[in-house]
Structure 1
């Protein structure tokens, strides 16, 4: 290979022979054998990319990115069926077409109890617009205590038992209460909130569904 042969990459020159000889000398100086790996340098281009070519590539890949952005990656809610306190089977699949608020709670959770008046209010305000509220008692909550509190507070929305923990598992292994999920009418999970969070913001989201 000629010492003067030059690779050009976007206007920058690299003299391959100089690099080879310097690497060879360094290997000998460090006590290593003359065998060593040669890492490939920049690809050889006959001429630099023109402005026209660069603009075309930008438009091409930019258009492709725009197409991918149109794909909705919002996850679907799990296809779970809850069992209410009165034995009713509540299938999330069958509720498609209506927004659903699923909240995991426990009778010994102070924050959960604080949310109850707000949930009752939302039920009265949005039930006629199709909102379905399902309060899912955690697996460790005694069913008789859940039933007692439901009657005591006169909860107007559905209260379900998750005796085997399958509901919490399907929703990503819920272990903190309250944990709330808002599902739109197409069955997509559009909000996941742990703790009480911002109930005003949550209400605003519900009102738009």
Structure 2
């Protein structure tokens, strides 16, 4: 019986053995770090969030606003960046409201915490308290904003602050659809 001699491993094999796993790892890191997560984007189901507007006896849901383009921000009272983002939503709603755009700012905080922000009352932004359990299934980052088309599908989603000028193009495209 003859023993086979080990063959040298080709440089191409070594290159592939290093490059392919590296690309996979980089892709996974990018997917985890990318603020434009694909959760809800291009979903077969419309995005649905239920919330209570302070002072109103009934629960609202995003499905009640079908036919309008929505900017929905999930915020927290202790987040200064959130308040800046709500200001951007106000600016967008003021500018595009006549064209069918509406802004909503929801928080897991209680109604009393929402009422402490008197500036919300003078804005074109509907404030709301998330229904129990809703905050558990939504992203924990604050602010977290969705741009929702007229059929209720999320078409853009991001965490953190974005200026109105960075969102206007997307809002205009959604309004034209």
The TM-score, its normalising length taken from structure 2, stands at 0.66
Instruction: Show CA shifts across 1:150-177 (max 9, x none).
Output: 45762332100025241x344xx32111
Superposition RMSD in Å: 2.6
Deviation of 1:117 (Å): 2.8
Q: Please tell me whether Structure 1 or Structure 2 has the larger radius of gyration of its CA atoms.
A: 1
Matched with 1:192 is 157
**Mapped partners of 1:182, 1:91: distance in 2:** 15
Instruction: Note closer, same or farther for the CA distance 1:142–1:190 as it changes in structure 2 (3 Å cut).
Output: same
Matched with 2:61 is 91
The match for 1:204 among 152, 155, 169 is 169
The match for 1:128 among 82, 95, 98 is 98
Query: Unmatched 5+ residue regions in structure 2?
Result: 6-40
Q: Does 1 or 2 have the higher relative contact order (CA < 8 Å, sep 6+)? A: 2
Matched with 2:49 is 80
Instruction: Note closer, same or farther for the CA distance 1:207–1:174 as it changes in structure 2 (3 Å cut).
Output: same
Matched with 1:44 is none
Query: Unmatched 5+ residue regions in structure 1?
Result: 1-23, 30-72
Contact 2:86 2:105 in 1 (8 A): no
Matched with 2:112 is 144
**Mapped partners of 1:155, 1:190: distance in 2:** 24
Instruction: Note closer, same or farther for the CA distance 1:161–1:198 as it changes in structure 2 (3 Å cut).
Output: same
Matched position secondary structure for 2:156:
strand
Matched with 1:37 is none
Matched with 1:104 is 74
Deviation of 1:142 (Å): 3.9
Contact 2:71 2:89 in 1 (8 A): no
**Mapped partners of 1:122, 1:199: distance in 2:** 7
Instruction: Note closer, same or farther for the CA distance 1:81–1:153 as it changes in structure 2 (3 Å cut).
Output: closer
**Mapped partners of 1:74, 1:188: distance in 2:** 7
Deviation of 1:191 (Å): 0.4
